Amino acid sequence: MRVNAIVAGVAMTPFGKHMDKSLKQLGGRPVLDAVKDAGIELSDIEAAYVGNCAAGTVTGQESIRGQVILSSIGLGKVPIINIENACGSGSTALNQACMMVSAGYYDVVLALGVEKLFHENKAITYAAFGGAIDVEVRDQMMAEITAGQSEGSGTKRSMFADFYGVMARDLMQKYDCTPEHFAMISAKNSLHGSLNPNAQFHDEMTVEEVMAQPMIVDPLTRPMICPVADGGAAAIVVSERKARQLGIERPVRVVSTALYSYFDHPEGAEENVTSLAVDEAYYEAGVGPADLDVVELHDSSAPCELMSYDHLHLCEPDDVVKLLEDGDTKLGGRIPVNTSGGLLRKGHPVGATGISQILELTLQLQGRAGKRQVENARVGLAHNGGGTINGEVAAMNITILKR
């Protein structure tokens, strides 16, 4: 959808293991900081969209998650809409906030993503991901994917790790790549993450070090699969009128936000969930892949990032490996990808991930990204999907921002 909304303020918690922090703390702090960053008062917020995926499973908090979190910092009365849309929960919250501002219903809207995934019982953490698939066919699908070797899936590791293993092996055939190429992505993102104070991991790794880590699912070692995390991220979205009133000097506009869901289609069809979202986002924004200066994409595994180079048309399918090997997606390259460290190094607090991508792009387009700044960045794209139905993403969000 074509939108006309401006990101006035952004903030996030450091992502990581925060056993001592509640859902309220993880969500409340970035809201207060984003309000300050926008130069407004908490009372200026006219509506709030709150993305969260797993609080019901992990913390027991159902139904009124946003109301509980926001009332703890003094924000109430206004419409608070709770959004659960798998790993795309946060970006879906932003999508809805932008549409309401663009339609003229509100001048100031909060989009919040928050998640608490770490639990003393790891099985509960992994169980939070077990519902992001059609549960009526889950056991059958897992049996087929793991070929009966499913021990530990869903209890000692996320069941999605097994999906990533199948994906990796398929992509090795499709793109003629090797596990070392997946390691190159993890190493690249570790460099970027080492420059991001809000990332979960700050150690820079070499390709050799990534390859030497324990294998989780053949052929993927631990750094090739994103870690879970706790955290929150918030964005204040305003109308043009409000932006002028606030005197925002470096406005970042959300120029398109496309959200599509799974639909039945023939296997191998050109039109799918991702292609529809990508094509609409480019069309409505009036830009193409060559116009992008920086990309935050959903690298829930290293193979996912490699595949997304193709899906986002950053290069021709036959040039996916070359794009990586030439360093084009690294800071200083032609099209830096996941300058935040991506999910692989920043971590993946599911409901907060989409908003954290918007934060990174906003900082980049405003020249506030510090040591990981992309020179003269003007156009950024965020790619955030989640869940799976019949082996395909269940919900896909593509957002394009311009300075």
* Active-site annotation holds for 87: yes
Q: Which residue among the candidates 18, 311, 348, 383 is catalytic per the annotation? A: 348
Contact 325, 177 (CB under 8 A): no
**Catalytic one of 53, 87, 98, 315:** 87
Spatial neighbors of 231 by CB under 8 A, at least 6 apart, are 12, 13, 14, 15, 16, 18, 26, 114, 115, 347, 349, 352, 356
Side chain identity at residue 287, one-letter code: V
Phi-psi region of 367 (alpha: psi -120 to 50; beta: other; left: phi over 0): left
Residue whose entry in the numeric block shows the structure tokens 């092996």 = 169
* 380: Cα within 13 Å, side-chain hemisphere: 33
Are the C-beta atoms of residues 192 and 342 closer than 8 Å to each other? yes
Annotate 11-46 with DSSP letters as a single string.
Answer: EEPPPB--TT--HHHHHHHHHHHHHHHHT--GGG--
d(CA 298, CA 87): 9
> HSE (CB half, 13 Å, CA atoms) of 275?
9
Please measure the distance between the N-terminal and C-terminal CA atoms of the chain and give it in whole angstroms.
19
Q: Is 348 tagged catalytic?
A: yes
Residues with active-site annotation: 87, 348
